[in-house]
């Protein structure tokens, strides 16, 4: 699908004209570092959403504040918005400890949310990254003006190609980044909850080695559950649920919650 990415640098945008130009998806800059929120975030989101475009958000990573606070800032900026597209981490600035920052940012973002996250970078920057993030969706910038004419790299799931930064789109008065995306950028809408290892004994009092299923299942209120285990203990995986229900259950479970796996 044809897509664009925009920020305050693009000024006021007529998203109805953008949609009529054949654009289906728009990535909107949300945050940079810990303290910067793009001053067009709310306007771009509201107008793109109203025009019926699929909308998503990206964060620009910097090395001047902790990755955990950056991930928190990004999540807080987008958590109450409709995320039609997976959030993206924009990595294009080199600094000491870059990959450590990337991993820490992703881990914190995953702790805060059930969203899949992808990586945006450009071909010439790829050598600054490594295969610890190989399985994350890749949105690659390479200005050859030929969508998907890209060489292989260590990433295993390329979902987008930004093929020009000087494009012209009706409704945008400035030069614009233009992309071709596949369905890998679309946000999953269902998933399942995995708990931590469950407590032993009657209501967790450790008086015997086993799980008090009646005690545990009262927190799931009719949700079908599957008990699984290994040498370390027993945990639960739920049936497939809407992600909104997964997030509600996360709050109910508290310290018993481990993760949400999207489907």
Q: What per-residue confidence (pLDDT) applies to 94?
A: 97
Cβ proximity of 82 and 50 under 8 Å: no
Residue 189's pLDDT band, with cuts at 50, 70 and 90, is confident
Cα–Cα distance for residue pair 51/231, rounded to 1 Å: 53
Say whether pTM exceeds 0.85: no
- Please indicate, yes or no, whether residues 161 and 203 belong to a single structural domain of this protein: no
- Please indicate, yes or no, whether residues 179 and 203 belong to a single structural domain of this protein: no
Q: What per-residue confidence (pLDDT) applies to 262?
A: 78
- Please indicate, yes or no, whether residues 118 and 178 belong to a single structural domain of this protein: yes
- Please indicate, yes or no, whether residues 72 and 147 belong to a single structural domain of this protein: yes
| Token pair for 70 | 């950056």
Residue 260, pLDDT above cutoff 90: no
pLDDT digits (tens, 9 = 90+) for 95-140: 999 999 999 999 999 989 878 899 999 999 999 999 999 999 999 9
- Please indicate, yes or no, whether residues 125 and 237 belong to a single structural domain of this protein: no
- Please indicate, yes or no, whether residues 236 and 199 belong to a single structural domain of this protein: yes
CATH number, domain containing residue 231: 3.30.70
Q: Give the residue from 149, 170, 185 where a domain finishes.
A: 185
- Please indicate, yes or no, whether residues 231 and 153 belong to a single structural domain of this protein: no
Cα–Cα distance for residue pair 195/236, rounded to 1 Å: 5
Structural domain count of the chain:
2
| Cα 42 to the center of its chain, rounded Å | 18
pLDDT digits (tens, 9 = 90+) for 157-181: 999 999 999 999 999 999 999 999 9
Q: Which domain holds residue 197?
A: 190-262
| Token pair for 27 | 């990535």
- Please indicate, yes or no, whether residues 93 and 223 belong to a single structural domain of this protein: no
In the block, tokens 């995953």 appear at 110
- Please indicate, yes or no, whether residues 194 and 134 belong to a single structural domain of this protein: no
- Please indicate, yes or no, whether residues 149 and 202 belong to a single structural domain of this protein: no
- As a whole number of angstroms, the longest Cα–Cα distance in the chain is 70
Strand partners, 129: none
Catalytic annotation, residues = 5, 92
Average pLDDT, the chain: 95
Q: CA nearest 156: which of 191, 192, 184, 183?
A: 184
Taking the CA atoms of residue 60, residue 129, residue 160 and residue 21 in that order, the dihedral angle to the nearest 10 degrees is: 40
Cα–Cα distance for residue pair 70/90, rounded to 1 Å: 12
Give exposure, 135-171, as e/b (b: 16+ Cβ within 10 Å).
ebbbbbbbeeeebeeeeebebeebbbbbbbeeeebeb
Strand partners, 162: 141, 179
Cα–Cα distance for residue pair 164/189, rounded to 1 Å: 31
Cα–Cα distance for residue pair 203/218, rounded to 1 Å: 11
Q: What per-residue confidence (pLDDT) applies to 259?
A: 87
- Please indicate, yes or no, whether residues 157 and 215 belong to a single structural domain of this protein: no
Mean pLDDT value of segment 182-198: 92
pLDDT digits (tens, 9 = 90+) for 1-40: 999 999 999 999 999 999 999 999 999 999 999 999 999 9
Q: What per-residue confidence (pLDDT) applies to 115?
A: 87
Q: Give the residue from 167, 185, 203 where a domain finishes.
A: 185
Cβ proximity of 137 and 87 under 8 Å: no
- Please indicate, yes or no, whether residues 220 and 168 belong to a single structural domain of this protein: no
Helices 98-112, 67-78: axis angle to 10 degrees equals 40
C-alpha count within 13 angstroms, C-beta hemisphere, residue 151: 7
Q: CA nearest 85: which of 58, 120, 109?
A: 58
Measured from the Cβ of residue 252, the count of other Cβ atoms closer than 10 Å reads 12
Cα–Cα distance for residue pair 201/220, rounded to 1 Å: 19
Q: CA nearest 137: which of 120, 113, 112?
A: 120
Total count of residues recorded for the chain: 263
Q: What per-residue confidence (pLDDT) applies to 145?
A: 86
Q: Give the residue from 185, 214, 230 where a domain finishes.
A: 185
């Amino acid at each position: 699908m044809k897509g664009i990415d925009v920020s305050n640098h693009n000024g006021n945008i007529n998203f109805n004209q953008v949609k009529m130009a054949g654009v289906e998806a728009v990535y909107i800059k949300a945050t940079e570092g810990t303290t910067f929120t793009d001053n067009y975030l709310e306007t771009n989101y509201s107008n793109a959403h109203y025009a019926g475009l699929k909308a998503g958000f990206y964060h620009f990573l910097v090395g001047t504040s902790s990755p955990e606070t950056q991930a928190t800032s990004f999540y807080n900026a987008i958590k109450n918005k409709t995320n039609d597209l997976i959030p993206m981490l924009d990595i294009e600035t080199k600094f000491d400890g870059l990959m450590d920052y990337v991993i820490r940012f992703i881990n914190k973002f995953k702790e805060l949310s059930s969203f899949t996250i992808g990586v945006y970078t450009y071909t010439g920057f790829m050598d600054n990254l490594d295969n610890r993030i190989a399985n994350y969706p890749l949105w690659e910038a390479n200005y050859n003006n030929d969508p998907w004419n890209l060489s292989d790299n260590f990433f295993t799931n390329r979902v987008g190609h930004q093929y020009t930064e000087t494009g012209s789109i009706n409704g945008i008065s400035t030069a614009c980044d233009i992309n071709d995306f596949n369905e890998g950028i679309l946000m999953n809408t269902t998933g399942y909850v995995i708990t931590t290892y469950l407590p032993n004994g009657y209501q967790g009092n450790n008086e015997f080695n086993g799980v008090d299923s009646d005690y545990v299942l009262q927190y799931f209120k009719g949700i079908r559950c599957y008990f699984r285990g290994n040498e370390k203990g027993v945990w639960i995986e739920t049936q497939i649920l809407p992600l909104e229900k997964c997030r509600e259950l996360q709050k109910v479970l508290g310290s018993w919650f481990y993760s949400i796996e999207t489907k």
